[in-house]
Amino acid sequence: MDIQLTSLHWVFVAFIVFILALLVKRRDTTLVCVAGIFTLGLIATESLNGSVSGIFNSFIYATKELIGTIFIISIIVAMSRVLIITGINETMVKPLTGFLRTPTMAFWGIGIIMLVTSLFFWPSPGVALIGAVLLPVALRVGLPALGAAIAMNLFGHGIALSGDYIIQGAPKLTADAAGLPVSQVMEASVPLVIVMGLVTTIVAFWMMRRDMKNGKWKNGLVEGAVTGVVVSSGAGVVLPKATKKALAISIPVLFAIDVVAMFALDLQGGNATALIGGTAVLILIAVTMLAHRNKGLEETTSYLIEGFQFGFRVFGPVIPIAAFFYLGDSAFKDLFGDHLLQGSHGIVNDLGVALANHVPMNGIVASVTLTAIGAITGLDGSGFSGISLVGSIAHMFSTAIGTGAATLTALGQVAAIWVGGGTLIPWALIPLRPSAASARSSLPGAT
């Protein structure tokens, strides 16, 4: 089937190329995305009023699509905050420190603990939850501070965040842009995440042991690295020891029950996210009321405000970018009306069919290209800001080759987040910003 491309299609492609060029130069793309929305609206409606209104309406559309992801991350961060301040996080992790008796055990132990924690709490609050407790233990058994940071980084910001199987923020973004169910993208990403995780962690461990043996690491640091670890003991909230222990046991059990319920009730996507989010809200309220007593009402609101500030700070740059790429699919018709040619299935679909008709496209070319594009989108240091682009291009390529939509989408997602989620480009990495009761670490160069 031959698809006739219009000026709308070529403008969309031109802005994608422009966005990629800016990402390579590590420049922000928000302004370009807004300009793209305006230009597409102006061409479609031939109305200044319609194109200007379309900018705001596209933001609303993107926010509606992303609001569940923004809320779940905000709530998890709010809950993590009260767990840190009360010291419950330390009580939760402390029993596990007994297993970290050698540098090797500390490296893999810290990594696995970080992986599990990040799946439920997201990596940024996950680092704050466990870093203050595990870093001193790692140093005590001879694991370099940078080695502990590498383990936390690869397992948390790499493996856990690139799959994001519990909170499902990353697959939600890419799946929406690719026009696929979240479950398909998650299933396709499993082997990719496993391979990427095994290769990176094993190579990192081998290189760390080699450098330690050759004497390149002194006092736990790579020569030339400027690293400081400062532990401050601020004014936390004091809870009875028995209460902290009971909560430290109850909270993991509650989340474990959620996971069991997901499988038993076949909850996926938004339903699974809602279960985790509701549980986190109840935990936040219960712990806050126990910890702050008479001030519990006000403090609950304060924790939620902190959480939502974090959530919108992370997703603030994502919304305009996602708004632009949603125009490649059904959002265009919703916002600007049916201005595409008859028989069109959306800008991205049309481009995919045209690509298949005029360019020799196969699985290998598509896979290599998606990996490169995913890595490029991660260069801005976010990881999340560009995965809507990845999903959109994966949709186009899969249409061209006739298969592999979920795999290509997952591949681009993994590449984007491994580069931009904090493993190669330091984002949400140490330094930690936990409460005054937690350790504050700064490990520049721990990538």
> pLDDT-derived band of residue 72, with 50, 70 and 90 as boundaries?
confident
Tens digits of per-residue pLDDT, 119-172?
887 776 667 666 666 777 788 888 888 888 889 889 988 899 898 888 787 898
CA distance to 17, 73, 366, per residue, from 388 (Å) = 14, 18, 17
**DSSP structure string for 27-96:** ---HHHHHHHHHHHHHHHH--HHHHHHHHHHHHHHHHHHHHHHHHHHHHHHHHHHHHHHHTHHHHHHGGG
* pTM score over 0.85: no
Check whether 20 has a pLDDT greater than 70: yes
Check whether 328 has a pLDDT greater than 80: no
Better-predicted residue by pLDDT, 222 or 37: 37
> pLDDT-derived band of residue 68, with 50, 70 and 90 as boundaries?
confident
pLDDT at 225: 38
Block residue for tokens 């590590």: 26
- The domains of the chain are located at 7-219+239-427
Q: Calculate the average pLDDT of the chain.
A: 78
Check whether 34 has a pLDDT greater than 50: yes
Q: Give mean pLDDT, residues 176-186.
A: 88
Check whether 358 has a pLDDT greater than 70: no
pLDDT at 305: 92
> pLDDT-derived band of residue 439, with 50, 70 and 90 as boundaries?
very low
Q: Give mean pLDDT, residues 400-416.
A: 88
> What is the C-alpha R_g of the chain?
23
**DSSP structure string for 205-252:** HHHHHHHHHTT-EETTEETT---EEEE---------HHHHHHHHHHHH
Q: Give mean pLDDT, residues 428-444.
A: 32
pLDDT at 425: 57
Identity of the highest mean pLDDT range in 99-113, 186-200, 416-430: 186-200
Better-predicted residue by pLDDT, 219 or 239: 239
**Cβ-contact 132, 83 below 8 angstroms:** no
Closest by CA to 351, choosing from 294, 393, 383, 381, is: 393
- Both tokens of 163, joined, read 């799959």
Closest by CA to 53, choosing from 37, 66, 75, is: 37
Percentage of the chain exceeding pLDDT 70: 80
